[in-house]
Structure 1
Amino acid sequence: MATTHYFLVLWLACCSVALAKNLFPTEDFNDRLIDPFSPGEYPINHTAYRQALSLFLDTNIDVYAPNATGNFPVFYFITGFGGLVPAEAHTELFSQIATHGIVVVAVWKVGSPETSFDPAWFAANVDFVEKRLENSLHNQEGYVSDFHVDYLHSFIGGHSAGNHAAVAQLQTDCLHYQGLILVDAVDGNSPFPENVTKYVITPGEKVNFTIPTLEIVTGLDPVPGPYGIACAPEELAGRRFFDAMTGPTWYVNATAYGHADLMDPVYVELNELAQFCPSDPNAPKPEYIQFLTGEIISFINGVLDPVGNCALFDYLETSGHVGVNTENDYVSNGWQRCTPLQCVLTPSSRSFLSLW
């Protein structure tokens, strides 16, 4: 009961705060990627689409996108607690990612997190992005005329239990997804492993899709808080996802950080007050946001052009970027480094092959 109470307090506080060019457009593209951990050059806008005000959405969508000339790939991000956390809790992270030429589509919904295990939960979001988003940003938000949403090059992922929604999507269809980005991924419909009745990963088995994957975790993820539960129990998180993948997969553990440290400062403070997810007050949070941005941008641009940008994968395999120490792992699963790749649905026993 105490755990439920504190979770509700934290979630309601979050909600109250939240509610109160071309990707490669010029010859200086490689110059901008020399340091993916620094802010990008694109001006960005934030646009909120709310379920209650839309005829086309069953969820809420927050779009952080470059208001500039170009064709910009999409990163779908499902928030924590299976999409229950308001997207505005991650404004700093999403904004920094968008400055590098990415359309961040953050998806969340007030409702039962269990519904996010159903792939249909997410379908309307993809349909909206592919058919309506670009026109909406042009007509209602004043985006420049040569801004284009490149939904043919999309990535999907999320934070915490939002990641089971991303994996559920890929278990059904690759659509236009180029890569999977898991941040503090947690499986299951309960924080108590013994009570889990729904899940997307079966330990010891491989998933039925093959896609490049970046998994970022924190050292404090599996550490229980004062109420006796961990925000990412070891049995439901971390290696559970890494071991199940069949494509090239990078594993990055930011050892000094905690599960909620990627959130905006006010939410980090709320977490510290509620003592919900363990966090080290001496670990600088702005640097962690820079670090996450750099890792994600390195992965996205490496996957989009693995021949020209193969060196970016080195950032996923080395420690110390922006002063953040990491433990790194990587498995190729048969991928030949620096060759093009794409998502395919595969039998669970089939290994990864380069496809282009």
Structure 2
Amino acid sequence: MSTNSIFQVGKHKVLLLRLEPDTFCFSSSTSRPPSLNSPPKPLLIATPSDEGEFPVLVFIHGYLLFNSFYSQLLQHVASHGFIVVAPQLYQVAGPDSRDDIKSAAETTDWLLEGLSAVLPTNVRPNLSKLGISGHSRGGKVAFALALGHANTLLKFSALMGIDPVDGMDKGKQTPPPILTYVPHSFDLKMAVLVVGSGLGEVKKNPLFPPCAPKGVNHEDFFNECCSPAWHFVAKDYGHLDMLDDETKGIRGRASYCLCKNGKEREPMRRFVGGVVVAFMKAYLEGDSRELAALKDDPEIAPVVLRNVDFL
């Protein structure tokens, strides 16, 4: 496989399943009857449809965003042989993310009994190869879960923060604070990928703060990681540029005007999808070729990279 292929759609056909607590509503049907074990939160699941056993990724959406806004990104990752489970943690929320962390932990525990029952009969999740990822405030939640702010029955083996944010700025962290501002203080016992946006720390207009301000953004999260940790920053792209090309509704329209954006979303989304695939292949499947090649030659990425760091 050439490294460029991680930035393209993979070889697996993908089903996108929507699952609600207490009821089972799918965008695509499965041949297996629904499980009686209902998920704690609405789920969007992107899964390969062809036969096989696949690692699993739990993906946490950003603040006041919908999991459906990440449909294209989730399908990109799934097409390379991963099952992606994206809960909708809330519809409306305040600054405190402790309930988010609790809900993410409950969703993770649900995987043990619930996930296999809602997948196609020929698709098997490998929960011994489990990753956790999140975007923006969801990245903070992913770090919190990996750091043990809530207990889970399953063990994560890889952590991915996609432009993670821990508050409005340094000194104004939202509860619970995750950053300690002590270098290499995160005792994670797993590999970490941190993806940053070069424009995330730039104001879109004077009425709103930057979406990923200095002091609480990807740089700070990476600085507190221990080896092995990877840090990639897309120079000319913004905090929401990994979302779907079209995000509908009031919140979807707001995603175009609240944050400084790049010219288009597609390159950033392909980059995020590709680097997540490369990272999971390396740390969940033991194949580091694509990740090493990207480190050695950043120009193969579909975006210009400002930083490529490795601990």
Larger Rg: 1
The aligned counterpart of 1:151 is 127
Distance in 2 (alpha carbons) for counterparts of 1:79 and 1:57:
17
More helix by share: 1
Aligned-partner residue type, residue 56 of structure 1: S
The structural deviation recorded for 1:34 is 6.5
Aligned-partner residue type, residue 94 of structure 1: L
* 1:315-326 pair list within 5 angstroms: 315-316=294-295, 318-326=297-305
* 1:100-139 pair list within 5 angstroms: 100-108=80-88, 109-112=90-93, 114=95, 116-118=97-99, 119-137=101-119
Question: Which of 219, 235, 245 does residue 198 from structure 2 map onto?
Answer: 219
Task: Say if 1:248 and 1:330, in contact at 8 Å, map to a contact too.
Answer: no
Distance in 2 (alpha carbons) for counterparts of 1:225 and 1:78:
24
**What root-mean-square deviation, in Å, do the aligned CA atoms of Structure 1 and Structure 2 show?**
2.4
The aligned counterpart of 2:228 is 248
Task: Say if 1:260 and 1:271, in contact at 8 Å, map to a contact too.
Answer: no
The aligned counterpart of 1:24 is none
The aligned counterpart of 1:22 is none
- 1:154 to 1:148, Cα distance in 2 relative to 1, 3 A: same
Question: Which of 184, 203, 209 does residue 181 from structure 2 map onto?
Answer: 203
Question: Which of 167, 172, 182 does residue 143 from structure 2 map onto?
Answer: 167
Task: Say if 1:75 and 1:103, in contact at 8 Å, map to a contact too.
Answer: yes
Task: Say if 2:202 and 2:213, in contact at 8 Å, map to a contact too.
Answer: yes
Secondary structure, counterpart of 2:130 in structure 1:
strand
The structural deviation recorded for 1:201 is 1.3
Runs of 4+ off more than 6 Å: none
Aligned-partner residue type, residue 80 of structure 1: G
Distance in 1 (alpha carbons) for counterparts of 2:94 and 2:53:
33
Distance in 1 (alpha carbons) for counterparts of 2:79 and 2:253:
27
Distance in 1 (alpha carbons) for counterparts of 2:300 and 2:114:
38
Structure 1, residues 51-110: CA drift from partner, whole Å, max 9, x if none?
Answer: 4647733322110000111111111110001xx421110111111111001101112222
The aligned counterpart of 1:259 is 239
* 1:328-339 pair list within 5 angstroms: 328-332=307-311
Task: Say if 2:47 and 2:84, in contact at 8 Å, map to a contact too.
Answer: yes
Q: Which segment is superposed worse, 315-324 or 165-174?
A: 315-324
Counterpart check, 1:42 vs 2:12: yes
How many residues align? The count is 288
Distance in 2 (alpha carbons) for counterparts of 1:323 and 1:90:
18
Secondary structure, counterpart of 1:210 in structure 2:
coil
Aligned-partner residue type, residue 196 of structure 1: Q
Counterpart check, 1:68 vs 2:44: no
TM-score, structure 1 as length reference: 0.74
Secondary structure, counterpart of 2:147 in structure 1:
helix
Counterpart check, 1:292 vs 2:272: yes
Task: Say if 2:192 and 2:229, in contact at 8 Å, map to a contact too.
Answer: yes
The structural deviation recorded for 1:113 is 5.0
Aligned-partner residue type, residue 39 of structure 1: V
Distance in 2 (alpha carbons) for counterparts of 1:290 and 1:105:
19
The aligned counterpart of 2:212 is 232
The aligned counterpart of 1:16 is none
Structure 1, residues 266-323: CA drift from partner, whole Å, max 9, x if none?
Answer: 23982475x2001133xx42222222221111111011244x4345333145422344
Counterpart check, 1:270 vs 2:253: yes
- 1:325 to 1:121, Cα distance in 2 relative to 1, 3 A: same
Segments of structure 1 that go 5 or more residues without pairing to the other structure are: 1-30, 138-142, 333-356
The structural deviation recorded for 1:256 is 0.6
- 1:151 to 1:32, Cα distance in 2 relative to 1, 3 A: farther
Distance in 2 (alpha carbons) for counterparts of 1:309 and 1:322:
16
Q: Which segment is superposed worse, 39-48 or 202-211?
A: 202-211
Task: Say if 2:21 and 2:42, in contact at 8 Å, map to a contact too.
Answer: yes
Percent identical pairs in the alignment equals 22
The structural deviation recorded for 1:197 is 4.7
* 1:185-200 pair list within 5 angstroms: 185-188=164-167, 191-198=168-175, 199-200=177-178
